[in-house]
Amino acid sequence: MKSNNTCAVIGAGVAGLASAIRMRNKNYNVVLFEANSFPGGKLSTESNDGYRFDMGPSVFTMPEYVDELFELSGKNPRDYFSYEQLDPVYRYFFEDGSTLDGYHGKERFAAEIAKKSSDERETIVRYLEKTEIMYDLTAEVFLHNSLHKVKNFFTKAVAKGILNFGKIGAFTTMHQQNTKAFKDQRLVQLFNRYATYNGSSPYLAPATLNVIPHVEIMKGAYYPKGGMYSITKALVQLATDLGIEIRYNSPVTEILLKDNKAVGVKVSSESNMFDVVISNMDVYNTYQKLIPSAKKPKKTLDQPKSSSGIIFYWGIKHSFENLKLHNILFSADYEAEFNTIFSKKEIYHDPTIYVNITSKHTPEDAPEGCENWFTFINVPNNQGQDWDAFIDQAREAVIAKVNRMLNTDLRPLIQCELVFDPRVIEKRTSSAFGAIYGNSSNNKFAAFLRHSNFSNKIKNLYFCGGSVHPGPSIPLCLLSAKITTGLVK
């Protein structure tokens, strides 16, 4: 495709790659600038002592949004990557020694819950049907269109949402809604945990976020063949096939402005002129570092940031038959855990642990008889805490909890270790304060307070990724790219 139109994309995360691909399909000549020597942003990979790890997002839902990029480009997505549906998606471990499997589909999930809890099958079915209604009422309004264009509010979907506003749970919290729904406190905790998908607290976030389990349980979760990084590899290959230039080790230091218009980017001391600039960098850091002289949307940028994580990437010299690809080991007091993270800005002594083991599906990710553990706990974002001390504290807490709940002795099984904390996350991905998910959703208006996908002050400057509308996660980042590029005339 020959064109005189040019576009710079800052950051080769999944939203940056998707934006570059969509802009190329709009007949723009696209250059993608990436500060790291590798693509993917959070969706990257590392290897250590014979173990391979996916470093970031590990749950894959709504694969159709990835496929759409290939179909838009006239390609067969299966020529680039493939995936399988998971069932069960999760195995949940509780302090009382019980376990629950999170199956795909309301009937299988409800049957598992009815068999292992005090709640009846009809209770689960009714709850999941309610989340489906919430999703149907909110998806078109919040996920597929800009909230910052007046014309988008004069549609049938918005009218339907307004007429049924009481059904989306905006004025109650996730925890309040889940407490009313279930007698078994394990189920309350299980559904509360979905607040962590965007770095929020279920005791503060609106019940509208209970749509998330609808996506995972009803629509399904998947595993990409070869691991999550295969998504990044496939998008990079598609971008290359389309003639998009990707420049690695090329940190953008400034977005060039002229007469309130973005006219290019500066890399080191070199100015590169473009008609359109799209930033996949965290919007907070985009303003602070790349356009420091521009007037900032202070109210938006000052919103409370999401939680972060401490992640231990462990090579484990053992195979645990009772673990799945996705595993949750719950804390005994969930409310105290979230209060410690969001109010005290500290890490909890008994953290909920997420363990992702891709070698369960991709054996070559670990030596024979071994497993690669992505071991994650939720922590506050970086406000200058003593993270070295927190890491030591977290390591001991995680090992003790795994030993107790899995009846094992983990420490001698750890063959190698990589560690991420909020400082590393910010340095590697430019996420402000190491907040993985941008702003938190700990208030009822959070969806409306995310930054728009365009600048209303600077012409030809656009934004994509998890820190702007519609929010974090692979599907939402892909939708942000679709919304963003759709705004470019």
- What is the SS3 assignment for 266? strand
CA of 163: how far to CAs of 104, 149, 153, 154, 449, in Å? 31, 20, 13, 13, 22
Q: Residue 299: inside a domain, yes or no? A: no
The one-letter amino acid at 209: L
What are 31-46's pLDDT values in tens digits? 999 999 999 999 999 9
d(CA 460, CA 128): 42
Assign 3-class secondary structure to 385-434.
Answer: CCHHHHHHHHHHHHHHHHHHHHCCCCHHHEEEEEEECHHHHHHHHCCHHH
Q: Does residue 443 carry a pLDDT above 90?
A: no
d(CA 306, CA 292): 23
The count of structural domains within the chain is 1
How much is the average pLDDT of 125-131?
A: 94
How much is the average pLDDT of 419-436?
A: 98
Q: Residue 174: inside a domain, yes or no? A: yes
Q: What are 175's strand-pairing partners?
A: none
Predicted TM-score (pTM) of this structure: 0.95
Q: How confident is the model at residue 157 (pLDDT cuts 50, 70, 90)?
A: low
Q: What is the pLDDT of residue 264?
A: 98
Q: Residue 118: inside a domain, yes or no? A: yes
Q: What is the pLDDT of residue 148?
A: 65
What are 240-290's pLDDT values in tens digits? 999 999 999 999 999 999 999 999 999 989 999 999 999 999 999 999 999
d(CA 351, CA 332): 9
Q: Does residue 344 carry a pLDDT above 60?
A: yes
Q: Residue 84: inside a domain, yes or no? A: no
Q: Which residue has the tokens 């693509």?
A: 39
Q: Does residue 169 carry a pLDDT above 70?
A: no
Q: Does residue 162 carry a pLDDT above 60?
A: no
Higher pLDDT, 446 or 468: 468
What are 317-340's pLDDT values in tens digits? 999 999 999 999 999 999 999 999
Q: Does residue 98 carry a pLDDT above 90?
A: yes
Q: Which structural domain range is residue 174 located in?
A: 107-222
What are 64-77's pLDDT values in tens digits? 999 999 999 999 99
Q: What is the pLDDT of residue 2?
A: 59
Q: What is the pLDDT of residue 164?
A: 55
CA of 169: how far to CAs of 155, 209, 211, in Å? 21, 8, 10
What are 105-123's pLDDT values in tens digits? 999 999 999 999 999 999 9
CATH number at residue 127: 1.10.405
Q: What percent of the chain is modeled with pLDDT above 70? A: 94
Q: What is the pLDDT of residue 327?
A: 98
d(CA 116, CA 447): 35
Most confident of 74-88, 123-137, 437-451: 74-88
DSSP characters over 345-377: -S--SS--EEEE-GGGT-GGGS-TT-EEEEEEE
Q: Does residue 165 carry a pLDDT above 60?
A: no
Q: What is the pLDDT of residue 446?
A: 75
d(CA 333, CA 370): 32
How much is the average pLDDT of 127-153?
A: 79
What are 345-396's pLDDT values in tens digits? 999 999 999 999 999 999 999 999 999 999 999 999 999 999 999 999 999 9
Q: How confident is the model at residue 200 (pLDDT cuts 50, 70, 90)?
A: very high
d(CA 434, CA 55): 14
Report the chain's mean pLDDT, rounded to a whole number.
Answer: 94
Tell me the CB-side half-sphere exposure of residue 355, using CA atoms within 13 A: 28
Q: What is the pLDDT of residue 160?
A: 60
Q: Does residue 453 carry a pLDDT above 80?
A: yes
How much is the average pLDDT of 218-230?
A: 97
Q: Does residue 312 carry a pLDDT above 90?
A: yes
